[in-house]
Amino acid sequence: MRSPAGGLLALAVLVLPPTVPALAQPPAVPAKAPSPRVTFDVTRATSPIKIDGVLDEGAWQTAAVVPLPYEWAPGDNVPPPVETRCLVTYDAKYLYIAFRAHDPKPGEIRAHLMDRDDTDTLIQDDHVGVMIDTFNDERRAFQFRINPLGVQADAIFSEQDGVEDFSWDMIWNAVGRITPDGFIVEMALPLKQLRFQPGEGRQTWGFEAFRSWPRNVRHRISSQRRDRNIACLLCQENKIAGLEGLAQGRNVEFDPTATFSRTDTRESPTDSSLANGDPNADAGLTARWSVTSSMTLNGAINPDFSQVEADVAQLDVNQRFALFYPEKRPFFLEGIDYFTTPIQAVFTRTVADPYFGAKLTGKQGGNAMGLFVTRDRINNLLLPANEGSSNASLDDDVTTVVGRYRRDLGSSSTIGGLYAGREGAGYHNRQYGADLFWRPSATDALRVQYIRTDTEYPKEIVADYGQPEGAFGGNGTWIDYQHTTRKWAAFGSYEAYDSGFRSDTGFVPRVDYRAFSGQGQRRWDRGAGAWFNTIDVGVRGWRMMDDAWTMTDQTVAAFVNYTGPFQTQVQFNMPHDEVVYQGVRYQYYRPNFYAGVKPSGRSSIQFTGRFGDGVDYANNRKATGVVQLGPIVEYRPVTQVSMQLSYNLDQLSVDGSRLYRANLAQFKLMYYLGVRTFLRAILQYTDISRDVNAYAFPVEHRTRRLFSQYLFSYKLNPQTMLFVGYSDNSASTASVDLQQTDRTFFVKLGYAWAF
C-alpha cells in the first residue's frame, strides 16, 4: 500500500502497517558512541578460485578479512552470540566473497531448499549476505544473500525509497556447505554485471557483510555499527578499497526463449468435453549490453512475457478500486529502481503484449537516467475516480515512452524529472513531472513530487465509460516528511490528484481527492532473553477530501505492535472510520490485528483478522457484522518439502442478515530436487455465496472457481531455464455445477548466452 489514500486494501492486507519505517532494534545495554567507518584494503587474488564451498585456495589465505563484530538486533552494537568472518578478493573478471560462519550447535542450523529469491522463507533461515554500494554514493546498493545450502537471493536497495527490490536478478555463482563447526559460503560476482564508475583506476565501494542467526529470536549481525539515530543505512557502511583495473569488457548477453502451449476450452456449459485448441509456438529474443561499466542497454523483439508464477490470490468482493499485482517479467525488472518515484507513474504491467521493447539505464557521476520504449498490441487502461475505478482495454497498437533523470545533490539528496507517455490512434496520455528527495539531517527526510498530465481518450472510451471529451489535464502532488530516532518516529504527508489526472503508464486507481495524513509512535525495547524485544505504541490518521474540499474519508487509529520470543509479531489497530459514499455518511469502528509466530525452523503460523462494521458499497448502505480472517500455515517436514495452506474469509451482514460470504483457500506444495530444480502444485478455490433478496440488482446465489497449476522447474540461472507445466480453471454457474472451463499445457525454454 502506497498510502492510506490508495483505496481499500485486499483482504490479505487487513492490518495497516506503520506508515513510517519501523524503528531499528535498540540495545539491551546503552549504545556506545558510533565509531568511524572502517576501510578494508582488498588485493587481487593470488591464485585461481574454484567456487565449491571449500576455501583451500591460496587466494583465500591472502584475502581481506572483514569481521562481523556487531549484533544490531535485538541487541544494539553488542557482541554477537556467534563468530562470523567475511573474506574478499577479486581478479579481472570476478569479485570473490566467502563467509566462515561458526555455530556452537551445527545441528540447529536452519537451512532449507527453496526457489531462488524466495525471501519469505530465506530470511527465516540461517543466511549471510553483502550490501555493495559500487558507486560509493550512499544512494543505491546491490544486495546478495545465500543460505547454508547455496540458495541465492539478490536485490537492489534504494536508500531514498527505503526498499529492497528482490525482483532484480543477476547471474552469479554461489555454493554453501554445512561443516562440523557451522557453515561456509563461497560466491563469485561477475564484474561485467555489476555497475560502477568507469575507469580502471583505484575504486572505493561501500560494503557491509551481514548474517542472520534465527533461533528463539532472529539475531541480526553486521560488519558495521548502526546508529539508531541515523535514518540512512548506506551512509553508515564501511568501505572496501584497492580495487584496480576493473573493466567489464563487452558484456553482451543474448537470451532467446521459446514457449510452446496449447489451450483447450469448453465453448458452452452444455458441451460434454473441452475442445482441443491449436498448438501455439512463440519465440522471442532479449539482449543486454553493458555499453559502459555504468550504462546498460536492453532490447527485446517479441519479448517473452509468458508467466509461470500464479498471481497472489486476492478476493475482489466489495472492493471499489483495482487490485495491485506486482511485476514479474525479467525485461521490465532490469533497472526498475531507476523509474521508481513516490507517485507510481510507472507500472510496467500496463504493457501487455509488445512487439518490441528497448531500455537504457545507468549512472554517470552524479547523473542517473532511465529510458524505455515499447510498442504494444493492446492498450490497457485504468480509469480512476474518487469513489471507484474501472478497467478498459483496446485492441489498438500503442507506443509507450518513459524517461527518467535524477541528479545527486550533496551527500544524500537528489532532484529529478520524469516523462511518461502513451500514444495511439485517437489517444494519448502524457505525464511531465519533477521530484525532490532531501535529507536535511540524519533523522529527517523530505520527498516531494509534482506531475502534470494531458490525456485524450478514443470516442468509444468516452461513450462507454463516461470519460471527458477531447483533451483534458490534471495535477498530481505528493509531499511527505519523516523523522526517525531511536525511540520516536513521526510522519506527515499531503497527497492530491485532480479529477482529470490520469497515469496510464502507472498505477493511480483513485483521483479527485486530496489527503492529509500523519503518524507518531514511541518504541520500548529489550535485548534477547526478555519477554519482549520491541513494543511500539502510536496513533495515525488521515483525512481525504475531493476537489471541492468536501470530506470523503477520515480515519483516526491507535495501534500497538509487539515482537518477542519465537520470532513472535503481534499488531493491533483500533481505527474509527468515517466515509462519505454517493452522498451518504457512514461512521464505524473496525478493529484489526495480525499475529505471527515461528515456533521452530520447520513451521510458521500467521493470522490476520478484522471485525466491526463497514459499508456495503454495492447497495450503498451501512454494513454490520464484518468478519475478515486470514490464517496462513507453513510446514516443512524435511529439507526438500514445503507445504503452505492459506485461507481468506470475507463476510458482510446488513441488518442482522448475512449479505455474502466469500471463501478463498490456497494450497501450495513444493518438492525440491536440488538448489536449481523443483516440482510445484498450486490449488486455489473460491466460493462466494450471496443473499440474492438483499441486493438491489440481480446477482448469482453462488459462484465457485477452482484453479490448479502443476509445474516442473529447472533454473541454471534466472535466464537459463526449463519449465514444463499444466494449469486449468473450473467454474460454476446458476445452472451448472463446478466444471472445467479450460486447460493449458505449456513448455518454456530459455537460454542465456553471454560473452
At 16-25, the pLDDT tens digits run 333 333 333 3
Give the pLDDT confidence score for residue 733 in this predicted structure: 73
How would you class 557 by CB atoms within 10 Å of its CB: exposed for 0-12, middle for 13-18, buried for 19 or more?
A: buried
Average pLDDT on 397-411 reads 93
For every residue of 491-552, DSSP letters joined together read EEEEEEE-TT---TTS---B-SEEEEEEEEEEEEE--TTSS-SEEEEEEEEEEEE-TT--EE
690-700 residue pLDDT tens: 999 999 889 88
Average pLDDT, the chain: 88
Whole-angstrom Cα distance, residue 129 to residue 97? 9
Say whether pLDDT at 368 is over 80: yes
The DSSP call for residue 147 is -
More confident residue, 293 or 59: 59
502-512 residue pLDDT tens: 999 999 999 99
Average pLDDT on 95-122 reads 92
Confidence of residue 304 (pLDDT cuts 50, 70, 90): low
Say whether pLDDT at 377 is over 60: yes
Give the pLDDT confidence score for residue 448 in this predicted structure: 97
Taking the mean position of all CA atoms in its chain, how far away is CA 691? Answer: 37
Residue 405 cell numbers, joined:
533523470
Say whether pLDDT at 28 is over 90: no
The answer to whether 509 and 482 are in contact (CB under 8 A) is: no
Whole-angstrom Cα distance, residue 275 to residue 250? 50
pTM: 0.82
Say whether pLDDT at 7 is over 70: no
- Topology classification of domain 39-243: Immunoglobulin-like (2.60.40)
Average pLDDT on 124-138 reads 93
- Residue type at 365 in one-letter notation: G
Give the pLDDT confidence score for residue 29 in this predicted structure: 36
Say whether pLDDT at 330 is over 80: no
Average pLDDT on 338-347 reads 90
Average pLDDT on 161-175 reads 84
Residue 458 cell numbers, joined:
478514443
523-541 residue pLDDT tens: 998 888 889 999 999 999 9
Whole-angstrom Cα distance, residue 649 to residue 222? 41
Residue 459 cell numbers, joined:
470516442
Say whether pLDDT at 478 is over 80: yes
The answer to whether 477 and 270 are in contact (CB under 8 A) is: no
Confidence of residue 103 (pLDDT cuts 50, 70, 90): very high
Whole-angstrom Cα distance, residue 619 to residue 624? 13
Give the pLDDT confidence score for residue 384 in this predicted structure: 92
Give the pLDDT confidence score for residue 27 in this predicted structure: 34
Average pLDDT on 86-92 reads 95
742-753 residue pLDDT tens: 999 999 998 988
**Do the bridges between strand 39-41 and strand 238-243 make them parallel or antiparallel, or are there none, so unpaired?**
parallel
Say whether pLDDT at 735 is over 90: no
Give the pLDDT confidence score for residue 32 in this predicted structure: 41
Which residue in this structure is represented by grid cell 518454456?
748
Q: Which of 24-33, 171-180, 379-388, 730-739 has the highest mean pLDDT?
A: 171-180
Number of H helices, E strands in the chain: 4, 43
Average pLDDT on 424-429 reads 94
- CA within 13 Å, CB half, 194: 26
Give the pLDDT confidence score for residue 309 in this predicted structure: 55
More confident residue, 573 or 321: 573
Give the pLDDT confidence score for residue 10 in this predicted structure: 30
Q: Which of 155-159, 210-214, 308-312 has the lowest mean pLDDT?
A: 308-312
The answer to whether 718 and 116 are in contact (CB under 8 A) is: yes
Residue 101 cell numbers, joined:
560462519
The SS3 assignment for 205 reads: strand
Q: Can you name the residues that pair with 74 across neighbouring β-strands?
A: none
In the chain, domain spans: 39-243, 257-275+676-755, 531-666
Give the pLDDT confidence score for residue 25 in this predicted structure: 33
